[in-house]
C-alpha cells in the first residue's frame, strides 16, 4: 500500500475545508420568515423570526364598543398572513365583525366564527386610544408606544437569508 505524502494530505484537507465552506454558505443563505412591523418612516419597529406554526396576535381596543379585539394569524406560504380567528371582550364588538351573525361565547370572551382568510401586508392605524399590541408566540410588543400620536404601520411577513439574522441585521 503506498504511503500518503504530505502533499496529498494537504490537498485532502483543502478539499474538505472547501466542501465545509460551501455547505456553511449554502445553509447561511437558506431563507427564513420574519414578522415585520414597518413604521411610518420605513423604520423597523418589530422584527422576529417565525415559522408556519407561529401564532401572531394583533390586539387593540375596539373604537366603538370598547374592550379588546384580538385577531389571530398564522404565517402563510409566500409571505402572507392567514387570519384564523377573531376574539372580542364584548358581544357588541363581536357582532360588529360577524357579517353572518355567527358568534359564540368562549371563556368569557366572544369568538367571531370566520373562515380562514389570506392577507398580504396589513396596514394598521396605531394610536394610544387603540392601544395596539402585537403578540408573537406570546411575546408582546406595544405598538402604541413605538409611534408618536397616530400613525399607519405595516404588518407583513418577509423572507430573508438566515445570514442576515446571524449577523443581527434587522428586517
pLDDT score recorded for residue 119? 95
pLDDT score recorded for residue 170 = 61
Structure-model confidence comparison of residues 7 and 153, the more confident one: 153
Distance CA 157, CA 42 (A): 15
Distance CA 23, CA 115 (A): 42
Domain ranges of the chain: 33-166
Mean pLDDT over the full length of the chain = 84
Tell me how far apart the terminal alpha carbons of the chain are, to the nearest angstrom: 57
Characterize 147-160 residue by residue with b for buried, 16 or more Cβ atoms within 10 angstroms of its Cβ, and e for exposed. Answer: beeebebbbbbbeb
Q: What is the pLDDT of residue 122?
A: 95
Alpha carbon 60 to its chain's center: 17
Report the C-alpha gap between 95 and 101 in whole angstroms.
Answer: 6
* Least confident interval from 38-42, 96-100, 137-141, 147-151: 96-100
Predicted local distance difference test score (pLDDT) of residue 79: 83
What percent of the chain clears pLDDT 70, i.e. is strictly above it? 80
pLDDT of residue 161: 72
Average pLDDT estimate for 34-50: 90
Say which range, 16-20, 144-148, 151-155, has the weakest mean pLDDT.
Answer: 16-20
Torsion, Cα 86 89 90 96, to 10 degrees, reads -30
pLDDT per residue over 65-123, tens digit each?
Answer: 999 999 999 999 878 999 999 999 999 999 888 767 789 999 999 999 888 999 999 99
Cα angle, residue 30 at apex, residues 72 and 134 outer, rounded to 5°:
20
Amino acid at each position: 500500500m503506498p504511503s500518503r505524502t504530505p502533499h496529498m494530505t494537504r490537498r485532502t484537507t483543502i478539499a474538505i475545508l472547501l466542501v465545509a465552506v460551501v455547505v456553511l454558505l449554502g445553509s447561511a443563505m437558506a431563507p427564513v420568515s420574519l414578522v415585520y412591523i414597518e413604521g411610518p418612516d420605513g423604520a423597523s419597529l418589530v422584527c422576529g423570526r417565525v415559522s408556519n406554526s407561529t401564532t401572531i396576535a394583533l390586539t387593540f381596543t375596539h373604537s366603538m364598543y370598547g374592550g379588546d379585539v384580538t385577531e389571530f394569524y398564522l404565517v402563510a406560504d409566500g409571505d402572507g398572513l392567514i387570519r384564523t380567528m377573531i376574539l372580542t371582550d364584548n358581544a357588541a364588538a363581536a357582532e360588529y365583525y360577524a357579517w353572518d351573525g355567527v358568534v359564540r361565547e368562549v371563556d368569557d370572551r366572544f369568538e367571531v366564527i370566520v373562515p380562514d382568510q389570506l392577507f398580504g401586508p396589513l396596514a394598521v392605524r396605531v394610536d394610544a386610544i387603540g392601544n395596539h399590541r402585537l403578540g408573537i408566540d406570546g411575546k408582546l410588543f406595544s405598538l402604541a408606544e413605538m409611534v408618536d400620536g397616530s400613525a399607519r404601520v405595516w404588518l407583513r411577513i418577509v423572507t430573508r437569508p438566515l445570514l442576515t439574522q446571524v449577523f443581527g441585521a434587522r428586517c
